[in-house]
Amino acid sequence: MPSITRRRTANVGRPTSAEADILSATQRLLIDGANFTELGVQQISAEAGVARSTFYSHFRDKVDLLVRLAAELMTSSFDVTSAWTPADGVEGLEDVFLQVVKVYRKHAAVRRALTEVATYDATVRDFWGAELDQFTDWTVAVLRAEQDEGRTPADLDPVSATRVIVMGGERALVDHVTAGDPGSDAAFARELALTWWYGVYRRPAD
């Protein structure tokens, strides 16, 4: 199995107390239904209990703030996903997706804000694309290793297959946590795992 080292997002680390307060305050406002675009720095600062100047001592602007919030979502998701190996089988993959669904539910308001801001901000679009690339790179490498071992059919195109399951899977996750019943999380995770496993990893050879 090739070694895949996660590309770390710039400026991501353990936040200071003020940073953590601002991040938490923003997430609370988003969970309560606030539109990120309409949120002002003063409103965020007031919710966090810090001065406006404190906000700017930790974040360049609101986009920087959103990217930092989103990095936590993607770091958690990637850490869960990359811990899985094909040796864990479809049952292990099912458990991974259930954990990822929980991460997406926890950060659903942030993911909604990303969709909102990405429509007009290139920095956010580029950030999100780069974050998804790490999932793509990891999956392509795993599939190629499985092909080398003869467990995944040689006629499978790892790049195209990965594009389908990573991009499609992420959109399905967003749709599920946005509109799906939390009581169906286990069923959703199972169906996603079966789709990946039998549709790609263990697709019958021609």
pLDDT per position as a tens digit, 74-107: 999 999 999 999 999 999 999 999 999 999 999 9
* Structural domain boundaries enclosing 168: 62-201
Whether residue 177 sits in one domain with residue 82: yes
Residue 92's Cβ-side half-sphere holds a number of Cα atoms within 13 Å equal to 10
User: Can you list the pairs that 29-33 forms with residues at least 24 positions away whose Cβ atoms lie under 8 Å?
Assistant: 30/109, 30/110, 30/112, 30/113, 31/109
Reported as a single tens digit per residue, the pLDDT across 146-193 is 999 999 999 999 999 999 999 999 999 999 999 999 999 999 999 999
Question: How sure is the predictor about 10, in pLDDT bands with cuts at 50, 70 and 90?
Answer: very low
Q: Please report the pLDDT score of residue 5 as a whole number.
A: 35
In this structure, is residue 150 part of a structural domain?
A: yes
For residues 25 and 95, membership in a common domain is answered with no
* 1 in a structural domain: no
Q: pLDDT tens for residues 47-82?
A: 999 999 999 999 999 999 999 999 999 999 999 999
- Domain CATH code at residue 188: 1.10.357.10
CA separation for the pair 160, 182 (Å, rounded): 31
Residues 170 and 80 in one domain: yes
Q: Among the residues of 59-166, which ranges form H helices?
A: 62-82, 89-106, 108-118, 122-148, 158-162
Distance, in Å, from the CA atom of 10 to the CA atom of 154, rounded to the nearest integer, reads: 37
pTM, rounded to two decimals: 0.87
Total domain count, the chain:
2
Query: What integer pLDDT is reported at residue 3 of this predicted model?
Result: 38
